[in-house]
């Protein structure tokens, strides 16, 4: 019995058996990978890592399993460790860049792709680099990349979408609309084109056009919570608050940490007279986005409706403080 062994003997036995157990888990992960059961493969590689983090190829294998299972946030860590162990492996760097891109780590993805020696000659890498720049808010930098891509791929719908997004970030809405409409002419179901048009129309106050574009996007990508949020915003501004409330309720249920959605939910609830429920969501929004002055204004109004004057004044003071800070006052 293990329990009868002295501590030193147990430690020595564990030290000697760990590599064998780690190899067994690693081999189990390989079997699942070969059968395209990537989530199950990741579980095997995770067990191997827990026993021996430096086991040969285990970090790379775990990262690839997560990547193929589309668990991109989990893929980033092991792929970073695999890259550090083999800095000359271009395939690992590119898989890491794509994992970062899909996990929303846009700056990190852009930095990896910026230094890729094949980026200028590989349109797919150039596209991914431009996408990372656009989604990271660097529209001006992305515009240069997409001008190059567009010159060679005028009839590519996805390139036109990203060019339009970059132009919109720079405030050139007319050019953006032209690029996005061209993308839809080439490929009517191209993702994100209608979403970008909807946001542009919303900013321009064209609420009917914005609603139509966002509804079209949701037919293509019903899982797009950002387009749902923008549609709820349009409906709120169009005085169609019942539908707006139904949509935003779903968004908050699916993504409770979406601060803008929490704010809009609270605002709509307050407009309907449910100040108590509004407080719950506005307080959550304030925790998630503590620099957004509008949240605290609405929260102050909600407390006021509930007769909690001291708390209301605290929120209004916070609102004024943030407004002064934004103005540099």
| pLDDT one-digit tens code per residue, 156-189 | 888 888 888 878 887 889 999 999 999 999 999 9
Predicted local distance difference test score (pLDDT) of residue 76: 93
Q: Provide the domain limits for residue 299.
A: 256-329
Digit-coded pLDDT (tens) for 205-224:
999 999 999 999 999 999 99
Predicted local distance difference test score (pLDDT) of residue 329: 53
Predicted local distance difference test score (pLDDT) of residue 148: 74
CATH number reported for the structural domain that contains residue 77 in this entry: 1.25.40.10
In this prediction, residue 140 has a pLDDT band, given cuts at 50, 70 and 90, of confident
Cβ–Cβ contacts within 10 Å for residue 243, how many? 14
Cβ–Cβ contacts within 10 Å for residue 26, how many? 23
- Check whether 12 has a pLDDT greater than 70: no
- Does residue 232 belong to any structural domain of this protein? no
Predicted local distance difference test score (pLDDT) of residue 30: 87
- Does residue 13 belong to any structural domain of this protein? no
Mean pLDDT of the chain: 88
- pLDDT-wise least confident of 1-5, 92-96, 317-321: 1-5
In this prediction, residue 9 has a pLDDT band, given cuts at 50, 70 and 90, of low
Digit-coded pLDDT (tens) for 89-103:
988 999 999 999 989
Predicted local distance difference test score (pLDDT) of residue 163: 81
Nearest to 53 by CA among 77, 28, 88, 86: 77
DSSP state of 119: G
In this prediction, residue 245 has a pLDDT band, given cuts at 50, 70 and 90, of very high
- Does residue 304 belong to any structural domain of this protein? yes
In this prediction, residue 3 has a pLDDT band, given cuts at 50, 70 and 90, of low
Q: From CA 45, how far away is CA 53, in angstroms rounded? A: 10
- pLDDT-wise least confident of 125-129, 198-202, 246-250: 125-129
- Check whether 14 has a pLDDT greater than 60: no
Which residues, 6 or more positions from 164, have their beta carbon under 8 angstroms from its beta carbon?
Answer: 175, 176, 177, 178, 179, 180, 183, 193, 196
Q: From CA 254, how far away is CA 261, in angstroms rounded? A: 11
- Does residue 43 belong to any structural domain of this protein? yes
List the Cα angle 233/238/240 in 5-degree steps: 85
- Does residue 199 belong to any structural domain of this protein? no
Structure tokens at 165: 């997004």
Helix (H, G, I), strand (E, B) or coil at 195: helix
Structure tokens at 263: 């704010």
- Does residue 62 belong to any structural domain of this protein? yes
Question: Residues of the chain with pLDDT > 90: what percent?
Answer: 55
- Does residue 134 belong to any structural domain of this protein? no
Total domain count, the chain: 2
Predicted local distance difference test score (pLDDT) of residue 313: 94
DSSP state of 55: S
Digit-coded pLDDT (tens) for 22-76:
788 888 888 988 888 888 888 988 888 888 888 888 899 999 999 988 899 999 9
- Does residue 220 belong to any structural domain of this protein? no
């Amino acid at each position: 019995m293990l329990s009868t062994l002295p501590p030193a003997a147990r430690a020595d036995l564990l030290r000697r058996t760990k590599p064998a157990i780690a190899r067994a888990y690693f081999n189990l992960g390989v079997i699942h990978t070969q059968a395209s059961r990537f989530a199950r493969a990741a579980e095997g590689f995770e067990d191997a890592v827990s026993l021996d983090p430096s086991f040969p190829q285990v970090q790379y294998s775990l990262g690839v399993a997560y990547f193929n299972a589309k668990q991109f946030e989990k893929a980033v860590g092991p792929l970073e460790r695999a890259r550090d162990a083999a800095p000359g492996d271009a395939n690992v760097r590119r898989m890491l860049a794509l994992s970062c891109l899909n996990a929303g780590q846009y700056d990190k993805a852009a930095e990896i792709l910026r230094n890729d020696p094949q980026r200028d000659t590989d349109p797919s890498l150039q596209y991914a680099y431009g996408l990372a720049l656009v989604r990271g808010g660097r529209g001006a930098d992305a515009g240069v990349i997409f001008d190059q891509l567009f010159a060679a791929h005028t009839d590519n719908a996805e390139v036109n979408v990203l060019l339009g997004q970059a132009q919109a970030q720079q405030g050139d809405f007319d050019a953006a609309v032209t690029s996005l409409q061209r993308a839809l002419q080439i490929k009517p179901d191209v993702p994100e084109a209608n979403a970008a048009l909807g946001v542009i129309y919303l900013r321009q106050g064209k609420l009917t056009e914005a609603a139509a574009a966002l509804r079209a996007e949701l037919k293509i990508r019903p899982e797009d919570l950002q387009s749902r949020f923008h549609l709820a915003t349009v409906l709120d501004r169009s005085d169609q608050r019942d539908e707006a409330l139904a949509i935003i309720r779903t968004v908050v249920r699916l993504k409770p940490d979406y601060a803008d959605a929490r704010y809009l939910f609270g605002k709509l609830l307050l407009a309907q007279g449910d100040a108590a429920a509004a407080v719950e969501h506005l307080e959550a929004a304030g925790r998630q986005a503590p620099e957004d002055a509008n949240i605290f204004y609405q929260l102050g109004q909600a407390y006021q409706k509930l007769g909690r004057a001291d708390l209301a004044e605290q929120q209004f003071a916070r609102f004024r403080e943030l407004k002064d800070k934004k103005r540099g006052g």
